[in-house]
Structure 1
Amino acid sequence: MDDELNQAPACPVEHRLVLDPTGRSRDAESEELCARGPATPVDILGVPAWAVADPLLLEELLQDPRVSKDPLPHRPDSERPLPDRPPALRVGARTVSTAHGADHRRLRRLTGAAFSTLRVTELADRVEESTGELLDAIALTPPGTAVDLRERLARPLPLRVTAHLLGLPDTLHERLRHHADRAFATTPTPQEAAPDTTALSRMLDQLTAARRAHPGEDLTSALTAARDTQGDDGALSEEELHNTLLLTLSAGHESTANLIDNAITLLLTHPGQLDLVRAGKAGWEDVVEESLRRDTPVAHLPLRHAVEDIALPGGVTIRRGEAILASCAAAGRHPARYGAHGAVFDVTRPAKDHLAFGHGPHLCPGAPLARLEARTALRALFERFPRLALLPGAELEPLDSLTSNGHRSLPVLLTQDH
């Protein structure tokens, strides 16, 4: 059986869609992925995979025990780095994001408490305070001067909140932002990112040591206690502790920044939708969910692997060890679920269900916090600056990333001339 599998053809080379690593072809690629069927062979930065865009099939696979996020035991080329991932979190990093089966359930239980409904509710005041401070600083901008809302609001807000969640002192927030921006970027090589990855790791090691000596009501203290109480063979290894902190920083940083960035952009480019919110015909929750559906913060989720052969509709078989790419950007607009108008931004859309935060066992535990941050930022921003407008003539360039779906900058004017 093993010999037969080894001889079986992998994702057909001649039919592979080569995904654009710059993200500039994202809309066209999403349309192509939807048109090609439930699953299609792709090339993702040189790695062959099956891209799944059909939301119904994707939901099934994301909770199928035959599909694993743990790359090491399952992929034949396990020494190759996962594509378009921050160097600090490439293949081999043991976290709740990559664990499978019992290991995943163990790590999920340990980290889930940090994002419980009660904990997120407790963070609401912190989110409001941080949003207000950032908007106060933005309000000092001289009239007629452009403001980059990605740099001034969308990125610093989630990083401040995540730093607070981890228990990092306010005095270290700027250092954290500097190193995190560079260490978690998707374009540098591991060598280019190494200095900032090392500096970030050193900061987290120092934080862990400080919380061992003086525990607090934060995620680092909770994870450190789990590690120290259970020992090497217990609940959490030292490597898992370190990588979980790195993952929390990464996931709580870039994806939430993209959510806020995309939601602001959609409202400013669809003023009629903003009018509906102001008229009370839709709420900020509707804006957040429709933004997540229409322009998901993470376009593709690399990579999962088939633990055994998986037969799909249409006669396609994903062979054991082959990679599976969750193409969430395409799934969010797929006509099978959203009809012919899936690309339309409509805050009054009755069904805004999406896969932006994943599905099944690996549903993002930080989703409630990301939603809270986005709702708070959007409401406060448009109340504070009701005449906010995109900078005339500005071209919104996408992030230079295959997976991260946002803009390099978001230039706006706080007031507009009539």
Structure 2
Amino acid sequence: MATIIEEQGSGSSFDANRDDRKTAAIVAARAKPDQGRQVKSFRQAREVLRSPVMKQAGGGAEYFDISDPERAPVFFLDGADHKKKRATIARFFAPRTITTRYNLIMDRVIAEQLDAFRSAGTARLDAMSFDLAVAVAADIVGLTVTDRKKMAKRLNLSLSSAFFPRNRPIARLIVQAKKLYNSIDFFYNDVKPAIRARTAEPQDDLLSHLIKVGCSDKAILMECMTYAAAGMVTTREFIVMAAWHMFDNPALRERFMAGEQDDQFAILLEILRLEPIAAFLYRSAPPEAEVPETIGASESGVYALCLRDANLDESVVGGCPHALDPDRAAKMKANGSFLSFGDGPHHCPGWQVALHEARAFLDALFKVPGIRLDRAPDIGWSDMLQSYELRNAVVSCDRE
């Protein structure tokens, strides 16, 4: 007989064996850190992320030249250099900027998408969510002088990898060649025109700032690709995953549609707690650093922080951690994002932008008459990013 655990103060109960995760199987089969000692405890992972002795690792951080911090991508910096550079870009992610600038873009793009959707009667969720994410991130960065749809196609081919052939060497080489071609195509057809335009007429965006401080084209391209991966790709997966959960759970969808913004955010954050897109974050301790005993030693000096395990740590998230409970954070008096967006100095700067995008898109989508999920997404795994990818989810509606 299943054990039922009553969640104190929630008015709901969960089967102790209940597991609402949709990516559990692929994560168990494919998620493997490429280096370092695994850290699975929430508190220990958070301490690593907040530790002043820890340095950014993973994503090629060890190979990138940061001798000139002013011209190095913020992702690869640490300490005072990182803090200073984060401060210069903080305004692009401020709540006021989201509500006065990015929400207008979201509303416009979502209206265009849903008009086309109602006219056709069918659409792909991953395509719509990626188009929205590209529109918002492009405005933040300053990649707004070329065709957004064409840029999205180039970036999609450059950054997606989960559904490409793994065991056919020749086919894999062809795919890698196409990815390289599209990365070069992105630079010459999107980044360079934007650099020329912002050099001639600076705007209030990241690209204008990078040009002002004298960043090279290589450094600018690296920043653009970083924001593309972090601001476009992950937001696409977040939106599709949240939609999938709500299509499969009518009561959850009804609560989302009836709720105020804060309750909608709580639902989205709880879905992301269960299904964080990235499986690992990496940090390294320099040989001379004194690592706190509570963190523990790593033979290689590198720590692989297992975000999924940390987000299931019952000592922090409460009982039945595999169940989707929108009231969980409130009951535990915790930050609902847990470690889904990281923590510490490198905490994701655009997390509130992604949250607003997901809320705005889904709130509008579920109001479309006759909305239904005709085909659940395929789940793939990116070995490069150690994250899941969701493709080919098809929605339909009453056609106008």
Coarse TM-score class (shorter-chain normalised): 0.7 to 0.9
State the match for 2:321 in structure 1: 342
Q: 1:193 aligns with which of 155, 179, 194?
A: 179
The letter for the 1-side match of 2:111 is G
Per-residue deviation, 1:339: 2.9
- For structure 1, which segment, 127-136 or 284-293, has the greater mean C-alpha deviation from structure 2 after superposition? 284-293
Distance in 2, Cα, partners of 1:67 & 1:390: 44
Q: 2:35–2:304: 8 Å Cα contact kept in structure 1? A: no
Alignment deviations for residues 190-215 of structure 1 (CA, whole Å, 9 cap, x no partner): 64421111111222122112210122
User: What is the aligned residue count?
Assistant: 348
Q: 2:61–2:76: 8 Å Cα contact kept in structure 1? A: no
Per-residue deviation, 1:328: 1.6
Per-residue deviation, 1:159: 0.5
Q: 2:130–2:152: 8 Å Cα contact kept in structure 1? A: no
Q: 1:148–1:410: 8 Å Cα contact kept in structure 2? A: yes
> Partner of 1:65: helix, strand, or coil?
coil
> Partner of 1:364: helix, strand, or coil?
coil
Structure 2: gaps (5+ residues): 1-22, 65-70, 165-172
State the match for 2:307 in structure 1: 328
Q: Structure 1 residues 159, 194: CA separation in 2 closer, same or farther (over 3 Å shift)?
A: same
Q: Structure 1 residues 262, 67: CA separation in 2 closer, same or farther (over 3 Å shift)?
A: same
State the match for 2:20 in structure 1: none
State the match for 1:399 in structure 2: 380
State the match for 1:33 in structure 2: none
Distance in 1, Cα, partners of 2:326 & 2:268: 9
Q: 1:286 aligns with which of 249, 262, 266?
A: 266
Q: 1:240 aligns with which of 219, 228, 246?
A: 219
The letter for the 1-side match of 2:380 is L
Per-residue deviation, 1:255: 0.9
Q: 2:157–2:179: 8 Å Cα contact kept in structure 1? A: yes
1:53 aligns with 2:40: yes
Alignment deviations for residues 372-400 of structure 1 (CA, whole Å, 9 cap, x no partner): 11111111111224x43322xx4532123
The letter for the 2-side match of 1:409 is N
Q: 2:55–2:285: 8 Å Cα contact kept in structure 1? A: yes
State the match for 1:8 in structure 2: none
Q: 1:268 aligns with which of 241, 247, 252?
A: 247
State the match for 1:259 in structure 2: 238
State the match for 1:97 in structure 2: 75
Distance in 2, Cα, partners of 1:73 & 1:150: 28
Per-residue deviation, 1:24: 7.2
Q: 1:331–1:355: 8 Å Cα contact kept in structure 2? A: yes
State the match for 1:384 in structure 2: 368
Give the TM-score of the pair, scaled to structure 1: 0.74
Q: Structure 1 residues 65, 342: CA separation in 2 closer, same or farther (over 3 Å shift)?
A: same
Identity rate, percent = 21
State the match for 1:127 in structure 2: 106
Map 1:26-45 onto structure 2 (within 5 A): 26-28=26-28, 43-44=32-33
Distance in 2, Cα, partners of 1:128 & 1:219: 22
Give the TM-score of the pair, scaled to structure 2: 0.77
Q: Structure 1 residues 337, 409: CA separation in 2 closer, same or farther (over 3 Å shift)?
A: farther
CA RMSD of aligned residues (A): 3.1
Per-residue deviation, 1:318: 1.0
Q: 2:146–2:193: 8 Å Cα contact kept in structure 1? A: no
Distance in 2, Cα, partners of 1:95 & 1:399: 29
Distance in 1, Cα, partners of 2:123 & 2:59: 44
State the match for 1:111 in structure 2: 89
Structure 1: gaps (5+ residues): 1-22, 31-41, 80-92, 228-235
Q: 1:24–1:398: 8 Å Cα contact kept in structure 2? A: no
- For structure 1, which segment, 94-103 or 184-193, has the greater mean C-alpha deviation from structure 2 after superposition? 184-193
State the match for 2:159 in structure 1: 184
Q: RCO greater where, 1 or 2, for CA within 8 Å and sep 6 or more?
A: 2
- For structure 1, which segment, 357-366 or 170-179, has the greater mean C-alpha deviation from structure 2 after superposition? 170-179
Q: 2:145–2:193: 8 Å Cα contact kept in structure 1? A: no
Alignment deviations for residues 111-160 of structure 1 (CA, whole Å, 9 cap, x no partner): 22221223222221111111111111111124xxx532112x21111111
Alignment deviations for residues 247-306 of structure 1 (CA, whole Å, 9 cap, x no partner): 1222110111111111101111121212223444883222221122121222223x3222
> Partner of 2:283: helix, strand, or coil?
strand
